[in-house]
């Protein structure tokens, strides 16, 4: 089971849409996928069409990561009505904000890792939609992860924000979790015709080199439409949606290579 945190230290860059795009690609590929909604805004749970009735959530898990609690906080995504496969959600909650203090204890930081360890044989990929800060929730997520994808957009503050995130990942790797590595920087909401965007992408490449992942993801309304309808991008009609789905497939390929995740289609 490979665990990827999708992070940004700045809100409003499309971190959750990237998580949902990767989840759609993984589900389409046939990977057994769990999406963990660690952002107190809980948008991933909404975007994946989950019935939360009678369910626990991430706040309950962080309070007491016992197996019964963990399993009661996981629900199947409504995406599974589209085609067969495993796509589940560890449900988010606004109450998760109560666990986002600036100075978590070592015990608290490892609670998500403890919870996910119980599911090791059941999923190929876990995607964690992180809170947009470097407080306890993000540290908890990174401690449970193998890789971190840092989401940014090609704006004035993108280099500084990405640099801050990469330094923080290194700090957690050295001090807490030696297996943690950056997957790289996902540049989101790119307008290819924008000279400013091209300048900022060059700036990112000059500073971070191969850590700037290909492809950069263009700004497309089809992604917002699919997510607004709580449907996976890969089944959304239209050429624009299918082009963007292909780009998320390429990003997923990078995730699978870094985590040595076998491709289910290779065994068919």
Maximum pairwise Cα distance, the chain: 53
pLDDT tens digits for range 216-247: 999 888 888 998 899 999 999 999 999 999 99
- Residue 266 banded pLDDT, cuts 50, 70, 90: confident
Q: Which helix (H) or strand (E) covers residue 27, if one does?
A: helix 15-29
DSSP one-letter code for 16: H
Q: What percent of the chain has pLDDT over 70?
A: 99
Task: List, in order, residues 6 or more apart from 22 with CB less than 8 Å away.
Answer: 4, 6, 127, 248, 251, 252, 255
> Is residue 168, in this structure, part of any structural domain at all?
yes
Domain assignment of residue 13, given as a range: 2-261
Total domains in the fold of the chain = 1
* Distance from C-alpha of 100 to C-alpha of 91, rounded to nearest angstrom: 17
Report whether 188 contacts 18 (CB < 8 A). yes
The pTM of the full predicted model, rounded to 2 decimals, is 0.95
> Is residue 82, in this structure, part of any structural domain at all?
yes
> Is residue 101, in this structure, part of any structural domain at all?
yes
- Residue 102 banded pLDDT, cuts 50, 70, 90: confident
DSSP one-letter code for 218: B
Quick check: 31 pLDDT over 60?
yes
CATH code (residue 112): 3.40.50.300
- Mean pLDDT on 88-96: 96
Report whether 208 contacts 158 (CB < 8 A). no
Pick the closest to residue 19 from 141, 102, 103, 139 (CA basis).
141
Quick check: 267 pLDDT over 70?
no
pLDDT tens digits for range 124-180: 999 999 998 889 999 999 999 999 999 999 988 888 889 999 999 999 999 999 999
Give every strand in the sheet of 33-37, ordered side by side. Answer: 74-76, 87-90, 33-37, 125-129, 2-7, 147-152, 181-187
- Residue 265 banded pLDDT, cuts 50, 70, 90: confident
Q: Which residue has the tokens 């995130």?
A: 165
> Is residue 267, in this structure, part of any structural domain at all?
no
> Is residue 266, in this structure, part of any structural domain at all?
no
> Is residue 254, in this structure, part of any structural domain at all?
yes
Average pLDDT, rounded, for the chain: 93
- Cα–Cα–Cα angle for 109, 113, 118, rounded to 5 degrees: 145
> Is residue 60, in this structure, part of any structural domain at all?
yes
- Residue 53 banded pLDDT, cuts 50, 70, 90: confident
Could you give the residue ranges of the DSSP H alpha helices within 84-213? 106-109, 111-117, 136-143, 158-175, 195-208
Quick check: 75 pLDDT over 90?
yes
Handedness of CA 35, 9, 101, 53 (dihedral sign): negative
* Distance from C-alpha of 10 to C-alpha of 15, rounded to nearest angstrom: 9
* Distance from C-alpha of 137 to C-alpha of 141, rounded to nearest angstrom: 6
> Is residue 268, in this structure, part of any structural domain at all?
no
* Distance from C-alpha of 9 to C-alpha of 233, rounded to nearest angstrom: 25
């Amino acid at each position: 089971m490979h665990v990827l945190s999708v992070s940004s230290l700045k809100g409003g860059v499309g971190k959750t849409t990237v998580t949902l795009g990767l989840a759609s690609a993984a589900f389409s590929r046939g990977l057994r996928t769990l999406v963990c909604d660690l952002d107190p805004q809980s948008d991933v749970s909404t975007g994946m069409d989950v019935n939360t009735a009678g369910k626990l959530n991430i706040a309950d898990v962080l309070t007491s990561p016992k197996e019964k609690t963990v399993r009661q906080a996981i629900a199947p995504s409504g995406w599974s009505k589209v085609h067969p496969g495993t796509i589940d959600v560890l449900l988010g909650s606004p109450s998760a904000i109560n666990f986002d203090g600036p100075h978590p204890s070592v015990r608290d930081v490892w609670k998500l890792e403890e919870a996910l360890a119980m599911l090791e044989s059941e999923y190929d990929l876990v995607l964690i939609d992180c809170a947009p800060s470097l407080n306890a929730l993000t540290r908890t997520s990174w401690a449970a992860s193998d890789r971190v994808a840092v989401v940014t957009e090609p704006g004035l503050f993108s280099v500084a924000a990405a640099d801050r995130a990469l330094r923080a990942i290194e700090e957690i790797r050295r001090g807490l979790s030696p297996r943690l590595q950056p997957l790289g920087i996902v540049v989101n909401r790119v307008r290819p015709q924008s000279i400013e965007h091209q300048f900022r992408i060059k700036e990112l490449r000059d500073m971070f080199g191969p850590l700037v992942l290909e492809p950069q993801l263009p700004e497309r309304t089809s992604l917002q439409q699919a997510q607004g309808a709580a449907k996976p991008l890969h089944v959304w009609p239209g050429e624009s949606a299918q082009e963007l789905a292909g780009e998320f497939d390429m990003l997923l390929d990078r995730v699978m290579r870094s985590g040595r995740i076998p491709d289910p289609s290779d065994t068919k």
